[in-house]
Amino acid sequence: MAYTQFIDGELTAGANRESWINYNPANNTPLGEVFQANAQDIEAAVGSAEKAFHDWRTKTGAERGRVLVKAAEILRSRLEQIALLETQDVGKPISESLAVDISSAADALEYFGGIAAGIHGEYVDLKNAFGYTRPEPLGVCAGIGAWNYPIQIAAWKAAPALACGNAMIFKPSELTPVTALELAKAFMEAGAPRGLFNVVQGDGRVGAMLTDHPRIAKISLTGSVATGKKIFAGAASQLKRVTLELGGKSPLIIFEDADLQNAVSAALLANFYTQGEVCSNGTRVFVQRKIYDAFLMQLKERTEKIRVGDPTDPDTHMGAVISTAHLEKIIRFIDAGKAAGATLLTGGSRPGKDFKGRDISSGNFLTPAIFTDCDDAMEICKEEIFGPVLSILCFDTEEEVIERANNSAYGLAAGVFTNDIKRGHRVIHQLQAGTCWINNYNITPIELPFGGYKQSGLGRENSLAAIQYYTQLKSVYVELGNVESPY
Ligand code: TXE
């Protein structure tokens, strides 16, 4: 299989380009060859996107919305086959790909397709005059994706961009080149003009070319904080618009009155879903002292029942992490946690066989890990591991836990479990985080904004909040009288 560029409505040839092999994380066998976009590809993508933008911006919101909703229908009609592609590319369980990834992408297309006709300005009566505003598109926007939710990330950027009248050039992560191409095909079949949504493959160098390109008006990144800072700096010379969905080390706070079963379920989901490779994960689990032992006992028992194995098996709970290099990075964090004095209570090892006795030694598998005896200052409690590693911490008072939870350069997400309705809102209002949950975790409906405080990002994706990041607002004053002049 060749993963090439999708420019001007079609897949381009792969020849005469730098290339690399894309591997299946579950067994490290080749899925296909990926061809790095070159400067000519970028120029062709920008030219095609500009041509598409020229017509697309003249369509009404309703006309644009129809294409997005049709694209959503096409994705849903191919859910099983795209889910399998995503599972093979990312290593995540097929149960997740079927339940979340493609549906979330389709939800975004439907949502922004539905509101496209409602994206308009305001009218203001003035003295012998009136004014109005116009939310106008930016032009050609670039999306740059991470590898944990490839088609969801592509759709969360393309849907608002196109709904607002822009064209998009999307670069998936070099580790997951596959399903952005499925989204591109769906847009074409839905009636989008050629070049409205282009895909270019490649690593950070291609991402940097997009950031630097003078005719690309905006960059939207989903990725690490380090990359976010590089893009922000690179965009500065042109004052190019940037939205950044970055990493985090988010707190999940469990008060003594919480429903224990639900709180443990949330802690498991917030650390082990998608092998823990979720930016908004609640990886610092703060538990109030009175229930700490009971919580930890249930957490350990249920963690050890998580079925690690072949991601294509519907019974599997946890698949393989994205690459051998990433697996080694996670193991380095685990070693550092032990060296710092934390106790590895369970997990953190490489299983040779999975829960059905199948040989998985050739894949990037790790059993879900829990660290106790943690200290806030430990690296495993400060840095994003982006793997199945949970750090549990004990606290006594509300004031103490809020201060400790906020003591982080990140601010992406936060969760609070309590049955005291006043405490739940009181605490969540004091947490420095952009995406929050009370008595659940990591539920991200398209109707709510998603994004972070502090170094976890700039701007928001999803909900009506996203519209401001894909439009620029023009105000128009209309004189109904004469120009009064002292000259
Ligand atoms: O990120 P990387 P990864 C974060 C998550 C973790 C990271 C993992 O927290 O930190 O993403 O994904 C491109 N100029 N989120 O390892 O390495 C690169 O090619 C331009 C947060 O992929 O930062 C890739 O396509 N582009 C998120 C993309 O940036 C550059 C949810 C990300 O790569 C570049 C999911 C450069 N100089 C993961 N260097 C959220 N908050 O929603 C690299 N890239």
Q: What confidence score (pLDDT) does residue 3 get?
A: 95
Q: What confidence score (pLDDT) does residue 469 get?
A: 98
Q: Which of 36, 101, 279 to mutate to test the pocket of ligand 1 (most atoms within 8 A of CB)?
A: 279
CA distance 301 to 98: 27
Instruction: Answer yes or no: is pLDDT of 15 > 90.
Output: no
- What is the percentage of the chain residues whose pLDDT exceeds 90? 99
- How many residues are listed for the chain in this entry? 487
pLDDT digit string, tens, across residues 76-93: 999 999 999 999 999 999
CB within 8 A of 178, min separation 6: which ones?
Answer: 3, 22, 31, 85, 86, 88, 89, 150, 172
Q: Which of 101, 173, 333 to mutate to test the pocket of ligand 1 (most atoms within 8 A of CB)?
A: 173
**Gap from CA of 125 to ligand 1 centroid (Å):** 46
Instruction: Answer yes or no: is pLDDT of 470 > 90.
Output: yes
pLDDT digit string, tens, across residues 195-248: 999 999 999 999 999 999 999 999 999 999 999 999 999 999 999 999 999 999
Among all residues, which ones are annotated catalytic? 157, 245, 279, 461
pLDDT digit string, tens, across residues 278-334: 999 999 999 999 999 999 999 999 999 999 999 999 999 999 999 999 999 999 999
CA distance between the termini of the chain: 73
Instruction: Answer yes or no: is pLDDT of 13 > 90.
Output: no
The answer to whether the CB of 420 is under 6 A from ligand 1 is no
Burial code of 114-135, b = ≥16 C-beta within 10 A, e = fewer? ebbeebebeeeeeeeeeeeeeb
Average pLDDT for residues 15-44, to the nearest whole number? 96
Strand runs labelled E in 308-357: 343-346
Q: What confidence score (pLDDT) does residue 439 get?
A: 98
Q: What confidence score (pLDDT) does residue 16 get?
A: 87
Instruction: Determine phi and psi for 315, rounding to 5 degrees.
Output: -85, -10
Instruction: Answer yes or no: is pLDDT of 268 > 90.
Output: yes
CA distance 218 to 211: 8
Closest CA to 309 of 349, 359, 268, 347: 359
Instruction: Tell me which residue has its CA closest to atom 20 in ligand 1.
Output: 207
Average pLDDT for residues 332-360, to the nearest whole number? 98
Q: What confidence score (pLDDT) does residue 322 get?
A: 98
Q: What confidence score (pLDDT) does residue 14 get?
A: 79
Q: What is the rounded average pLDDT for all residues in the chain? A: 98
- From the CA of 174, give the closest atom in ligand 1: 19
